[in-house]
Structure 1
Amino acid sequence: MNQEQPNPYNDDNEIIDVKPFFNAIKEGFKGILKTLVAIVLFYKKNIALFAVLLILGAIGGYFLDKKLKITKIFSQEIIIEPKYETNKYIYDFIDGLAKNLNDKAFLEKLQIDSSQVSEIKEITLEPIIQATDVLDGLHVKYGDQDYFHHIIEEYDEKTLEDDKYRDFYKYHRLKFDFNSESSDNKEVSKALLSYIASNEYYNKQLSLQLKQTKRNLEKNKETLLYVEEYLDKLNKNQGKQNKEIVVYAEESEIPTISSLLKRKNDLLNAINQQERTLTLDKELFEVVEYGNIIPQPVGVHKRLLLLLPLILCVGVSMIFLLLNISRRINSFIKD
């Protein structure tokens, strides 16, 4: 006798009941909602307590911040004016400084020790953005062209912060941030500035530039004296044609009072600039402003002013939670 085989396509063979599965999910969501409601009701019931904790925590955090000095960093800002195209050298030096400060040999060159740099938080250098500095630099490089004004006026400050404009800016802000107040902090900034100024390669260029400037200044002064003497002769002999002396004229040009006055003005401008260079540009950079070290507040997110109230509220919440769990356990054991 042949046994009847079950038909796999017959729906009457097996029926999977998924109702318990969905009931379990439903109960899980109910449990989560009950827990959330219980938490909200708990804080609503104890709102006065937690408000007091927040106020007391904020007051306590404020005074702890002041006492522990963790709300401040100590900053020194120094405004410098790089000379003789030393911008890139100075920026590269500052960029590599974080690594070099861990090198004992480098610290020996600075004549400071590791304990003196231990409180350094950060050292940064950034240009003081002036659009006119960019215009002046472009005029020197490419000539006096009006369209530069339109180009720069359309740029916002973020664009002008790009590194390609950095060399145009006259003044730069060197900022030292220290974690604490120490008498060694100023010694560190002085040592770094002295080391930057002692670069042998750039000092050779500086020496050569100053020698050439001094020589050109002497020649310009001699020429100016000659031009002034010639102008005096022309003034004394007005109405007479005097073609005997020709000074700095082109091949077929006879000097006139107008051309000589222009020449005199150019010489005076050149002499003024050269005297300025010899007086003010004797170093690789000029310290325009040497600021004092002053305390600065750090970001609010780092303060106990916010952290302590949060700790108090979480701590009290955990105490209530443990008490509730303990009460449930005791009730379960008794039952």
Structure 2
Amino acid sequence: MTTPPVPTVDEIRLLPKVVLHDHLDGGLRPQTILELAEPIGHQLPANDAESLGRWFVDAADSGSLVKYLETFDHTIAVMQTAESLERVAREAVIDLAADGVVYAEQRWAPEQHLRGGLSLQEAVEAVGRGLAQGEQTVRDAGGEIIARQLVTAMRHADRSQEIAALTLANKGKHGVVGFDIAGAEKGFLPSLHSAAFDMLNKGLVPATVHAGEADGVASIEDALTAGHAVRLGHGARIVEDIQGTEEAMRKRGKADLSELVVGPVAAWVRDRRIALELCPSSNVQTATAVSVREHPISLLKNLGFAVTVNTDNRLMSGTSMTREMHLLATEADWILDDFLAVTLTAAWNAFIGFDERQELVEKLVLPRATVVREERKSL
């Protein structure tokens, strides 16, 4: 059988993409940070866009999630007014669409954006306006993207019930479609916020939970049981619940995986199609994975888990969906069919309604993917 050629950057850029895990405060344009920092007197580590962008990547490339999170001090500092939140959200949508993204969920923590006098509700409304403005700008240019927001609570803080109530109050408004907890994972299990998760579960609001990035299987299990998670933010360390020889764990072909034993938590995640929001470059930066080639995403994909590809923080990782996919193509031997499969998985696991997901797949994902495939056949 002939091995399919490695997808090119141009082919991947043209592919329709769905991103479920992209932080609003982790995707700012460096030039925007400079322009927003100057009037408020916030001191930045560089004074031109190119150097600033490079600083974020270098600072985040530390091998430590804690140090990685420190880079957000600068982005959050310039996102404290309604105008700045609108701008950042608008530009995020435009940038994602330019990369071929047709559906994006932007997650962010309103509790971190109140220093300028905004209320939680005003902050949510500002981001909602920015997302809508971005969508309209893309439509005016002849494109199409759907952008929604996930309201996030910080797991090391004590406002999760308040943020859950905020999410419930805005369900279906201002682009709000779900809830998340983020921040330092180790030592802050989702069960610490069980009251908030119970409130959301009773209110029929879906939750994704950061788990399996800086902590292991126990954190993932807690996200599923106490957090009622229907998706897992990262979830890469679910691989620790899969047992087998070291040689078998390195193999990628489906026929070579029979030696592996899937543990109970991993089986639950796989059997119930709980989507894994995997972020290869970010996981390498925070030492969750050694490299993109050795990232568990390929093993998990071949074992039948509901794998999705995401950017996490485009600024801190100096990345895009195109770059993430191209890295998987060149370093982990992914082909076009793999990218279409994970994109469909992401689309069907979006937090919008079923009819909207069906329309997303039928009108935005499949037609554009078909064009790329047909162009490849014609070469």
Q: Same fold (TM over 0.5)?
A: no
Name the TM-score, length of structure 2 as normaliser: 0.20
Name the TM-score, length of structure 1 as normaliser: 0.21
Tell me which structure has the larger Cα radius of gyration: 1
Of the two structures, which has the highest relative contact order with CA contacts closer than 8 Å and spacing of 6 or more? Answer: 1
